Structure 1
Amino acid sequence: MAWIWKSVLLVIAGMILLRIAGRKSISQMSVATTVIMISIGTTIVQPIANNQLWKAIGSATIFIVALLIIEYLQVKFNWLENLMSGRSKIVIENGQIISKNLRSVRMTVDQLEMRLRQNGISNISDVKFATLEPNGQIGYELMQHAKPVTIGDLERILNLKSGKVLEQSGLFQEIKTNHHTIPIDPKLK
């Protein structure tokens, strides 16, 4: 029966320690974070069989403190961040794949294309820059002709065609000018 309360205590301690460690999905974990999380998982399971509950919680706490120190030092020292996490690598520049960089990150063209398709990109020539980030994600900027149109773009286009200049909303304009207009019912005109 003692193993039940020990298991519950380990789960609670593990949840608290992981909450302190921060919220990152597996794809966002650095090498140090991954090693520490695996170590915590292994450490937390052991005491149930070996009756060393407090040693397991202490070890897990040391792992989390080490992780927090490493993350703090990475924020403080750029060279340590580069050493521990790495840097982004440009894999596409001006619609052209940079084969040398793709090889250095051990990624095939097919894998790159798959990731681009998952981001809704169907043509490599539409990509101005694409980077493989240290967390394994693809970052990208589209060429001007391939960027989606924003509401601001549409407003500018529509106003240019009609010859109108955009004015601020009447409610805010009233506050700025301290002049309150009363809307006129079109039926009364």
Structure 2
Amino acid sequence: MNVFGVIKNISLLEYLIRTLAVGIISFLVGRFIMKRAINQFTAYDFTVVWILGAIIAAPLIDGEISFTYIIIPLLTLFFWHYIVSLLSFKNRNLGLFFNGKPMILIEDGKIIRKNFKKQFINIDLFLSQLRLKNIFDISEVKYAILEPDGHLSVIKKEPNRYITPADLNLTAKPISLPVVVINDGKLFEENLKNLKLNKEWLMNNLSMYDIDDVSKVYLATIDNYKKLYIAKKDI
């Protein structure tokens, strides 16, 4: 069965096998392509990912397209993306050319209309983005910057910023990531040991929530301050 070659009349089984192969290739592309292309997604990265998607899907759209025909374009795009990313990293001017520049949309509470026009930004959509950042009054904004990846960065004016411990000359407690000790009824005793706790301590605390068996717990986490979070299973 020549599944990966040229097929004029593709059968359902051959189509399913090709679909599985495309899924594997898509996973490998997502796994090994530069993380920058996925996390930041600049205009250049969007172009690369869009072309990759079209190439990978081609054998599914047309059975007469052999999988061997997509290998060279895939490798070429990988090489191209690597070289351009490396050059952008080494040379700031090239990086700005390929990735774009940040653009100031609001400065000291004033809208920069020419920058809105350059980017064809709709004011209503812009205001909705501000509201998502809990800003309802443009006069509160010191700077609003459109980043090269399309995200909006906002800095409030000093009187409108949240007070931080540093503003009050206070020392904030260090933040630690909670550790999962129970997941879907399964107890992770190794994580308890790392926190210098034991099962007896855990069961005593679970009893405060009327829980007598870890199997009744969907999720339980403990932070460095021994604070316990419990989510019961839905019975």
Please indicate, yes or no, whether the TM-score normalized by the shorter chain is above 0.5. yes
> Which one is further off, 3-12 or 21-30?
21-30
The 5 Å alignment of 1:106-121 reads 106-121=120-135
Which one has more relative contact order, counting CA pairs under 8 Å at least 6 apart? 1
In structure 2, C-alpha distance between the alignment counterparts of 1:54 and 1:25, rounded to whole Å: 25
TM-score (norm 2): 0.59
When the two structures are aligned, how many residues end up with a matched partner?
Answer: 157
Mind listing any 5+ residue stretches in structure 1 that lack a counterpart? 157-165, 167-189
The answer to whether residue 104 in structure 2 is matched with residue 90 in structure 1 is: yes
In structure 2, C-alpha distance between the alignment counterparts of 1:70 and 1:123, rounded to whole Å: 41
Q: Cα offset for 1:24?
A: 5.4
In structure 2, C-alpha distance between the alignment counterparts of 1:90 and 1:123, rounded to whole Å: 17
The 5 Å alignment of 1:150-161 reads 150-154=164-168, 156=170
The answer to whether residue 50 in structure 2 is matched with residue 38 in structure 1 is: yes
Counterpart position of 2:32 = 20
Q: Identity, % of aligned pairs?
A: 24
In structure 1, C-alpha distance between the alignment counterparts of 2:123 and 2:93, rounded to whole Å: 30
Aligned residues of 2:103 and 2:115 also touching (Cα < 8 A): yes
The 5 Å alignment of 1:28-107 reads 28-48=40-60, 49-107=63-121
In structure 1, C-alpha distance between the alignment counterparts of 2:78 and 2:137, rounded to whole Å: 43
Counterpart position of 1:140 = 154
Q: Cα offset for 1:132?
A: 0.8
The 5 Å alignment of 1:155-174 reads 156=170
> Which structure: greater helix fraction?
1
> Which one is further off, 59-68 or 69-78?
59-68
Counterpart of 1:90 in structure 2: which amino acid? I
Quick one: structure 1 residues 57 and 12, their matched pair in 2 at CA, closer, same or farther if it must change by over 3 Å?
farther
Aligned residues of 1:90 and 1:132 also touching (Cα < 8 A): yes
TM-score (norm 1): 0.72
Q: Cα offset for 1:54?
A: 2.2
Aligned residues of 2:42 and 2:150 also touching (Cα < 8 A): no
Q: Cα offset for 1:93?
A: 0.8
